[in-house]
Amino acid sequence: MRSMVPVLAFCAAFVAVGSATAAPSIGGDPIHTQDDVFTGGGLWSVNVSSYVFDETSDLPTGFVLGAGEMLFAYLLDGDDAFAVSVNTFTVGNPNQSVISSVGFSTDITPAGFDAGDREDPFLFGYSGPAQASVFTYAGDLADPFSTLEPTEWSLVWYIAESSDWALGPGSASGGGLPDTHLLPVPIPAPGALTLLGVAGLLGFGWRRRR
């Protein structure tokens, strides 16, 4: 959980005092970042910082892109003012770009975050019929506390064959209550092959124990 830093904004006619946030650095030089707050019925809340990198970008530690590929990363930051955990996070692929790999980072601790508060998804992968990258935090029988708790954070990502980005559907769910926002998603290059609903093409992965 990162702290909110008060910012003073001075205008010609008045002085406004409030809180402002910017996407925490995960390294590299993204071509786009944005912050979205997902909430569910006043029971849970998670801030999602989105990052887009293309093949010309300076990339975060551990990443390499091939020609025509883009990296989409999402930092989930729980809000400890709430009691309910987040169970799943999903990013759609409405433009049917080829998703070449999906995962989570264990090598990067975002600026201002504590490495000890990291929570990795239990199950993750690209689901063809659903056209989405899905990251599931609940369901690990060996670790009943594997949900993304309010005090925890997680950095997940996927790499797509893409020429640009656009806004597409993203969702988070906790306590049976979902919320949706528009997040950065890939746009395939003209003439590129598309991934047309082949279930389990990439399969799903399980996290390694830390």
Tens-digit pLDDT profile for residues 8-20: 332 333 233 333 4
- pLDDT value at 201 more than 50: no
pLDDT over 70 at 31, yes or no: yes
**In sequence order, what are the residues at sequence separation of 6 or more whose Cβ sits closer than 8 angstroms to the Cβ of residue 114?**
none
Token reading at 124: 């993750």
State pTM to two decimals. 0.82
Is it the case that residue 66 has pLDDT exceeding 90? yes
**Is pLDDT at 27 greater than 50 in this prediction?**
yes
Average pLDDT, the chain: 83
pLDDT at 191: 64
Tokens of 112: 């201002």
Confidence of residue 200 (pLDDT cuts 50, 70, 90): very low
Q: Is 103's pLDDT higher than 80?
A: yes
Which is nearest to 122 in space by CA: 61, 194, 207, 208? 207
Considering the domain 22-206 in this protein, what is its CATH number? 2.60.40.1170
pLDDT (tens digit, 9 = 90+) per residue, 112-141?
999 999 999 999 999 877 789 999 998 766
Looking at residue 204, what is its pLDDT? 55
Domain chopping of the chain, boundaries:
22-206
